Structure 1
């Protein structure tokens, strides 16, 4: 009888551990997917800033964002590949719409709206990465989030400063 109880407890413990591991994997995949989608949108905005802004400081910020975010996206893709996570291959509809709206603008109007979009995008990314850095179950994704936070904070601060200067 005791053997049966011991076996049953062991099986329940293993099932609970497997369930917890599965939930951690789902949370990791959710972060990786959200971060990839946001990262692709940030790269697109950065490239747009570099190519279309008339302000050298906005162009420089755009280049920095595109470079840093592309590197982060590559790191996420590597980790996701190791874990077997699927990742989005395009930005979401909201980002597509924002890019189309920005595409119709020029000059100071473009810069003003672009900086607004960068501030909104980076504030959302910062919240996503801060949550993963403090609560993430996957050690590699948690470490990636922690490594990425300083660049996100710097980009957000720069975008806000440029936004304030443009007012």
Structure 2
């Protein structure tokens, strides 16, 4: 009964949030909690933002991280630059009417600012935690869009990209289990 009440509250909040901004329910995690696919613009925005966060945070790791973090960071930069290029090319070639953001979200910028203030083991711990949580939420985003997204080309791309994100999540989980130096 309590679960039904929570779902009803999320549904009402989602309706209110949708009236305010098309991406609010996605940003608040309501869509994710209910297993609802994001709108196409929300998917593209969140996919681009998360990829850019991976690149920027991993560039910091190349400067501040231990060798284990640096090795992981190199892979993240390479892979997420490739995925970002694929997204831009797909949107352009299929003339999908969305805007691809250039940077990160405000919450991701706060995370980057926090990382910039850390060094040594504190940096590695925060970087590794961010990588795990970021890949977990990004994988869920891609899986929801692949299952129920409304643009067939993006839906197929999300489905094709999800296994790489699953590998990244597993790598991030292993990274979190390794000892910091």
TM-score normalised by the chain length of structure 2? 0.72
- Tell me, in whole angstroms, the C-alpha distance in 1 between the residues paired with 2:173 and 2:80: 18
Are 1:43 and 2:55 matched, yes or no?
yes
Residue number in structure 2 paired with 1:78: 89
Q: Which structure shows the bigger proportion of residues in helix conformation?
A: 1
For residue 88 of structure 1, report the CA deviation from its aligned partner: 1.4
For residue 30 of structure 1, report the CA deviation from its aligned partner: 2.1
SS in 2 for 1:83: coil
**Is the Cα–Cα contact under 8 Å of residues 42 and 65 in structure 1 kept in the other structure?**
yes
Are 1:97 and 2:110 matched, yes or no?
yes
Residue number in structure 2 paired with 1:20: none
Structure 1 alignment gaps of length 5 or more: 1-25
**Is the Cα–Cα contact under 8 Å of residues 36 and 73 in structure 1 kept in the other structure?**
yes
For residue 96 of structure 1, report the CA deviation from its aligned partner: 1.0
TM-score normalised by the chain length of structure 1? 0.77
Residue number in structure 1 paired with 2:143: 130
For residue 141 of structure 1, report the CA deviation from its aligned partner: 0.8
Residue number in structure 2 paired with 1:17: none
- Tell me, in whole angstroms, the C-alpha distance in 2 between the residues paired with 1:150 and 1:49: 24
- Tell me, in whole angstroms, the C-alpha distance in 1 between the residues paired with 2:117 and 2:127: 12
CA RMSD of aligned residues (A): 1.7
For residue 148 of structure 1, report the CA deviation from its aligned partner: 1.4
Are 1:58 and 2:69 matched, yes or no?
yes
Can you list the C-alpha shifts for 1:71-101, whole angstroms capped at 9, x where unaligned?
1111111222321311212211111111111
Structure 2 alignment gaps of length 5 or more: 1-37
Residue number in structure 2 paired with 1:166: 179
For residue 166 of structure 1, report the CA deviation from its aligned partner: 2.9
Can you list the C-alpha shifts for 1:121-166, whole angstroms capped at 9, x where unaligned?
1111010011111112222211211221122111111111121223
Can you list the C-alpha shifts for 1:9-64, whole angstroms capped at 9, x where unaligned?
xxxxxxxxxxxxxxxxx92222111111111111112222223212x221111111
